[in-house]
């Protein structure tokens, strides 16, 4: 059995590694971020089993599934409540709640060995799971944001933003005024604050506002190309794994 751990908290990753060693399981690799995991999975044979934390240092681990077809069974290791995680029990996916329990870990491994699924692409409804991870009562989406420009503070209404995007490890917005503004928070932080009926994460780099889409063009490899009303600096492509959810979103 080949196993990797994806966990941004290195002490937690080392503890899980030791727990697996007691069960006679050798961990092939320990990874600590979305970016690092994508690089590794794109250049190595996918393991039989991945232990995967939900919240990584540079975003939610679901983004891995948005970019590549993962052909491994998944066991999430997370502190999120059990009710929300019932959504993960699909395909070859299971979960363990933190702090990890030795008996529960052994049971999960034994169940995996019994099932021993063949390698197939993991299918995850990412938007549905994101919604489950947030208490609907507590959800308050951003209506405006403030940007410091020199000695001035500019108020920007959310509905005047065409897109949020990341470039050179920085996050920006592009507005209907055809202006770009640098933001303090990451794209992942903003995604959690935006109304999912109005904004959609089309790939790792862009979140677009539905009213800003001027045209949708069929693109290579079953992807879609978006033309916005004023943003023309960077090509916006809906990743192949996001196309199905995108089509649902625009309908």
150-183 pLDDT, tens per residue? 899 999 999 999 999 999 889 999 999 999 999 9
Q: Identify the three-state secondary structure at position 237.
A: strand
Look over the chain and give the mean of its residue pLDDT values, rounded to a whole number.
84
Torsion angle of the four alpha carbons 126, 200, 156, 228, in this order, in degrees rounded to the nearest 10? 160
Residues 200, 159: Cα–Cα separation, whole Å = 14
Which residues neighbour 184 within 8 Å (Cβ) at sequence distance 6 or greater?
171
Query: What are 30's strand-pairing partners?
Result: 5
CA 195 to the chain's CA centroid: 16
Residues 181, 178: Cα–Cα separation, whole Å = 10
Torsion-angle region of residue 63: left (phi > 0), alpha (psi -120 to 50) or beta?
alpha
Q: What is the mean pLDDT of residues 53-70?
A: 82
Query: What are 173's strand-pairing partners?
Result: 164, 181
Q: Identify the three-state secondary structure at position 241.
A: helix
Residues 165, 214: Cα–Cα separation, whole Å = 17
Query: Domains in the chain, ordered, with CATH?
Result: 3-135 (3.40.50.2300), 140-250 (2.40.50.1020)
Residues 244, 77: Cα–Cα separation, whole Å = 27
pLDDT at 89 over 60: no
112-142 pLDDT, tens per residue? 888 765 555 555 556 656 655 555 444 578 8
187-242 pLDDT, tens per residue? 888 887 888 889 999 998 999 999 999 999 999 888 999 999 999 889 999 988 88
């Amino acid at each position: 059995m080949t196993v990797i751990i994806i966990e941004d908290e290195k002490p937690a990753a080392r503890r899980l590694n030791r727990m697996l060693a007691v069960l006679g399981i050798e961990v092939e690799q320990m990874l600590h971020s979305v970016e690092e995991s994508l690089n590794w999975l794109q250049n190595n044979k996918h393991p039989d089993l991945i232990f995967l934390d939900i919240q990584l240092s540079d975003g939610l681990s679901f983004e891995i599934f948005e970019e590549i077809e993962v052909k491994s069974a998944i066991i999430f290791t997370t502190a999120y409540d059990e009710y929300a995680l019932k959504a993960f029990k699909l395909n070859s996916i299971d979960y363990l709640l933190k702090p990890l329990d030795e008996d529960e870990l052994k049971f999960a491994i034994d169940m995996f060995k019994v099932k021993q699924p063949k390698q197939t692409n993991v299918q995850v409804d990412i938007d549905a799971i994101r919604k489950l991870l947030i208490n609907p009562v507590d959800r308050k989406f951003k209506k405006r944001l403030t940007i410091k420009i020199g000695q001035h503070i500019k108020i920007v209404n959310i509905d005047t933003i065409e897109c949020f995007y990341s470039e050179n490890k920085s996050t920006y917005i592009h507005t209907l005024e055809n202006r770009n503004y640098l933001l303090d928070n990451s794209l992942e932080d903003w995604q959690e604050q935006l109304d999912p009926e109005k904004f959609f994460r089309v790939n790792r780099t862009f979140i677009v506002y539905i009213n800003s889409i001027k045209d949708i063009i069929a693109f290579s490899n079953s992807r879609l190309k978006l033309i916005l009303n004023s943003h023309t600096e960077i090509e916006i492509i809906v990743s192949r794994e996001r196309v199905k959810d995108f089509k649902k979103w625009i309908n």
